[in-house]
Amino acid sequence: MTMIKKGLIFLIITLFVLGFTQINAQQNRYWVFFKDKQGSKFNPIAYFDQKAIERRIKSGIPLYDSTDFPLNETYIKKTKACVQNVNGHTRWFNAISVTASPKQIQNLQKLVFVTDIQAITFSAVPTSKPFDSTLTYSEKELLEIQTSRMQAKLFTSKGYTGKGIRIAIFDAGFPSVDKNPVFRHLIKNKQIIKTWDFARKKENVFVSDVHGTMVLSCIAGKINGKNIGMAPDAEFLLARTEVKAEPFSEEENWLRAAEWADKNGADIINSSLAYTYHRHMTFEMDGHTSLVAKAANMAANKGMLVVNAMGNDGAQDWKILATPADADSVISVGAINPYTNFHAAYSSYGPTSAFKTKPNVVAVGSVIAAGKSKLKKVKGTSFAAPLVAGFAACAWQSKKSLTNFQLFSLIEKSGHLYPYYDYAHGYGVPQASYFINNNASLHNKKQTFEFVEKGNQLIVKVKKEFIKKKPVSANNYLYYNLKNEAGFIEKYWLIDVYQQKAVVINLDDMAEYKEITVHYKAYTSSCKLGD
């Protein structure tokens, strides 16, 4: 993901170039919702891909569901006659996207079959910051780190490479995927099942921004016999949804792409796109306000696992996640620094504005990915998300009977920090050993520290045998958080341990906090405060 400042500069420049008329046209886009689907005919066997049918049966989801029915054609025709343009539609929400003037909207509101009209106000924020690079020794090391942090070789050793799992990727474009040697195996083995450009309404997605190419490589890329991602044998649906010249059309495209992915049998959706309110209202990030968040939840209710980047606003004024990462049923992925293993400064923070826990997990955010003509070093939660999507494909292959919600829960539990949680690291980096060892807990049963109350102080005392002589080690980090009376995390820290008295807290200053939770060397424990 690109940092927000650059995203804003780009947006401002774009708006000036497009001119006043085009700005008005963009801002006059609306969702028009219909009251019913009366008279619609639907044949699920003819409509759905066989894999979509199998997914529904496995998850106990009815094949004949009204949210999948087509829209009422009479309603569409009457609406089209009242507006400037019809841009697209969504079966799931029984709505069409239109471009219309305020007067036309007033006329639409009088139609008896129209139940609601909502302005389209979200615009996409890029989620990467690429730069050219040759593969130096350190970059070869990084290529290894990006998957080894999730124990990729454990999956590979058991033959879990994403085979049989279908992944839909929503992004800005996939240039050179059809020619790049990194994806030669996908072309040769016909693993790219379908493609669709929702902006140009064409099948060819091998154009435009290279961002999608890099994201795909983080799931399935291979070069010189080495995997860039963890699921080189998965199948793919590639959707181009992001259009720089039309910043307010992307939410529409995401909705349509989600329905398309469902129809065509996707098991997993990977979205490295994040949407923020154009007036920067962070309270909108509550998991149920934006239509794209509702669509992400709907996709999950259809049996798909939705993986989304948190966003790259951690060092900016916005700071928190962007939608649809705020959706409850989305695995929202933050980024960590590959060398320190703690939160990458740019990675957006949780929670949602409704205090729901986000991110769910994290992965390495600085990676080696495939560009148009060579490998590049890039960074952003855009690239952490596909690493987790690839992990999820392998995990699902290893336990095919799981539903998407069961897999969601197990991925959280596989996090290296679980059950510890904070709003920067989530439950940590998913670990393949959790799935290989039949959900065996990664939690250390051997106590590594204890709580000692001395006077008005609470001391987190680390046992001698668990203190390393050399500080500044990723394995030497101690995490702790403080929760309020409602059970919400108020503050959290990460420290390097170099002495037994790792944390000393003055209890007189803790009146507003009710519990401290500490994690150190795979051992987690909590202590009540103020009792």
Those residues with Cβ within 8 angstroms of residue 53's Cβ, 6 or more apart along the chain or in another chain: 44, 45, 63
The Cα–Cα gap between 423 and 527 comes to: 20
In this predicted model, what pLDDT tens digit does every residue of 165-191 receive, in sequence order? 999 999 999 999 999 999 999 999 999
Strands (E), 323-476: 330-336, 361-364, 366-370, 375-379, 449-454, 457-462
Closest CA to 450 of 436, 469, 468, 464: 464
Burial of 418 by CB count in 10 Å (0-12 exposed, 13-18 middle, 19+ buried)?
buried
Distance between CA atoms of 22 and 332, rounded to whole angstroms? 34
Structure tokens at 344: 């990458």
Beta bridge partners of 480: 493, 518
Look at residue 258 in the predicted model and tell me its pLDDT.
98
Q: Classify burial at 340, counting beta carbons within 10 Å of its beta carbon; exposed 0-12, middle 13-18, buried 19 or more.
A: middle
Mean pLDDT of 262-281: 82
381: confidence class by pLDDT, cuts 50, 70, 90: very high
Q: How far apart are CA 125 and CA 358, in angstroms?
A: 18
Say yes or no to pLDDT of 4 above 90: no
Residues 6+ apart with CB under 8 A from 409: none
Q: pLDDT value at position 503?
A: 95
Q: How confident is the model at residue 426 (pLDDT cuts 50, 70, 90)?
A: very high
Mean pLDDT of the chain: 88
CB 90 within 8 A of CB 33: no
Residue 22 confidence (pLDDT) above 60: no
CA 462 to chain centre: 36
- Evaluate if residue 5 carries a pLDDT over 50: no
Least confident of 129-138, 234-243, 427-436, 501-510: 129-138
Predicted confidence at residue 245, as pLDDT, reads: 54
pLDDT at 469: 64
373 Cβ contact partners less than 8 Å away, ≥ 6 residues apart: 176, 180
pLDDT tens string 55-97: 999 999 999 999 999 999 999 999 999 999 999 999 999 999 9
Domains in the chain with CATH codes: 24-123 (3.30.70), 126-436 (3.40.50.200), 449-528 (no CATH)
What does the angle CA 73 – CA 79 – CA 80 come to, to the nearest 5 degrees? 90
For range 392-415, the mean pLDDT: 97
Residues 156, 147 contacting (CB under 8 angstroms): no
Q: Which two tokens stand for residue 473?
A: 């080690």
pLDDT confidence of 288, banded at 50, 70, 90? confident
Structure token digits, residue 372: 């148009």
pLDDT in tens, 326-372: 999 999 999 999 999 999 999 999 998 888 999 999 999 999 999 98
Residue 290 DSSP class:
S
* Residue 9 pLDDT: 31
Contact 364, 387 (CB under 8 A): yes
Q: How sure is the predictor about 223, in pLDDT bands with cuts at 50, 70 and 90?
A: confident
**For the segment 496-505, what is each residue's pLDDT rounded down to a tens digit?**
998 999 999 9
* Whole-number Å distance between alpha carbons of 230 and 268: 14
In angstroms, rounded to a whole number, what is the distance separating the alpha carbons of residues 218 and 208? Answer: 19
The helix/strand/coil state of 505 is strand
Distance CA 465, CA 15 (A): 61
- For residue 523, count CB atoms less than 10 angstroms from its CB and return exposed for 0-12, middle for 13-18, buried for 19 or more: middle
| pLDDT surpassing 90 at residue 193 | yes
Most confident of 266-280, 310-324, 404-418: 404-418
Sign of CA dihedral 179, 185, 190, 194: negative
User: How far apart (Å, rounded) are the C-alpha atoms in residues 466 and 521?
Assistant: 8
